[in-house]
Amino acid sequence: MSGISLCGVSLAGPVLNGSGTFDVIAARRAFGDGLLERFPFHAYVSKTITLEPRRGNPPPRLWETPAGMINSIGLPNKGLEGFLAEDPPRIAEVPVPLVVSVMGFSRDELATLVEAVGAREEVALIELNVSCPNVETGLIMGADPGETARAVERLRPFTEKPLIVKLTPNATDPSAVAGAAEDAGADAVSLVNTLKGMALHPRTGEPWLGGRTGGVSGPAIRAIALEQVAAVSAAVRIPVVGMGGIASGHDAADFLAAGAAAIAVGTESFIDPAAGRRIAAELAAIERVDAPVEANSVR
Ligand SMILES: Cc1cc2nc3c(=O)[nH]c(=O)nc-3n(C[C@H](O)[C@H](O)[C@H](O)COP(=O)(O)O)c2cc1C
């Protein structure tokens, strides 16, 4: 697998994990140091951290759908201070660059998070999860180009580390949001986050998930994600990290062909924690086979 440069950071290949779908500290407890020797991803993305600690949503938090799942985890995390005190040295033992995902409920919160996380030498890139309401305006930051631009402009001076803005698919025009992020100083965009969804309790007809609604992920959303990645890739000059239902090397190759510079594996890691490694190997084999053959050959 040939290496890539993502916003100036060298990666041994293009396969990342989707934020929140691979807990490296828990995985190391389960699989031991072998995990580090055969690490499944070429960069590691932390789960999203917020300024204050969060307990997350009440259970149940997961519902399996045909070809995917709905999660209503609600971003439980130790908050910025708890994260900085405990996690970066442990996470930094992974043999790949570290991306830390942050979410703020106001532009000031985002600036605080980005400044503190960016100051840590273990951190190579920062991902902004903008799938949350801005308490100042009530708007979902990443659903609106103006909101996204104001958020990125506000925090851009607080770090020189590359900023990836993670787009929500629950926007009228993700390309317009991506363009606004680029104009405001984002170094890359990633997409898609989960699509809003719901499941009902089979007997009561009430919402099954403790958070009532949740985010749909997995192969069920792949075609939607692929279209959004293609549209956004055509609209911006900065690199695009594509994700949404990637479960095989062929899926990954599709996202790269649609314009992504790198891809991320999320839900598939719940089925197989080594999925990232398998997908990278399958992708490398496709590249080897495809390169010398005529353009209309079957993959
Ligand atoms: C259980 C679960 C937790 C997630 N947590 C986060 C998170 O903390 N931050 C974030 O930006 N995205 C989070 N996501 C979204 C994924 O990173 C990814 O964008 C999405 O699931 C689509 O990719 P997939 O279909 O391969 O899972 C989460 C997804 C799942 C399934």
3-state secondary structure 99-159: EEEECCCCHHHHHHHHHHHHCCCCEEEEEEECCCECCCCCCEHHHCHHHHHHHHHHHHHHC
pLDDT of residue 136: 75
pLDDT of residue 37: 93
Q: Does ligand 1 lie within 6 Å of residue 214's CB atom?
A: no
pTM of model > 0.85: yes
What is the Å distance from ligand 1's center to 18 Cα? 5
Residue 83: partners with Cβ closer than 8 Å, 6 or more residues away: 49, 77
Enzyme catalytic residues: 132
Q: Does ligand 1 lie within 6 Å of residue 129's CB atom?
A: yes
pLDDT of residue 297: 46
pLDDT of residue 131: 85
The answer to whether 128 and 103 have CB atoms below 8 angstroms apart is: yes
pLDDT of residue 5: 97
Closest Cα to atom 17 of ligand 1: 18
pLDDT of residue 138: 73
CB atoms inside a 10 Å sphere around CB 251: 24
Q: Which atom of ligand 1 is nearest to the CA of 75?
A: 8
Residue 29: partners with Cβ closer than 8 Å, 6 or more residues away: none
Q: Which of 173, 153, 172, 171 is nearest to 163 (CA)?
A: 153
User: β-pairing, 98-102 with 44-45?
Assistant: parallel
Q: Which of 104, 63, 68, 13 is nearest to 207 (CA)?
A: 63
pLDDT of residue 175: 98
Per-residue confidence in pLDDT tens, the chain, 299 aa: 689 999 999 999 999 999 999 999 999 999 999 999 999 999 999 999 999 999 999 999 999 999 999 999 999 999 999 999 999 999 999 999 999 999 999 989 999 999 999 999 999 999 999 987 667 777 788 999 999 999 999 999 999 999 999 999 999 999 999 999 999 999 999 999 999 999 999 999 999 999 999 999 999 999 999 999 999 999 999 999 999 999 999 999 999 999 999 999 999 999 999 999 999 999 999 965 555 555 444 44
Instruction: Please state, in angstroms and rounded to a whole number, the distance separating the CA atoms of residues 79 and 61.
Output: 20
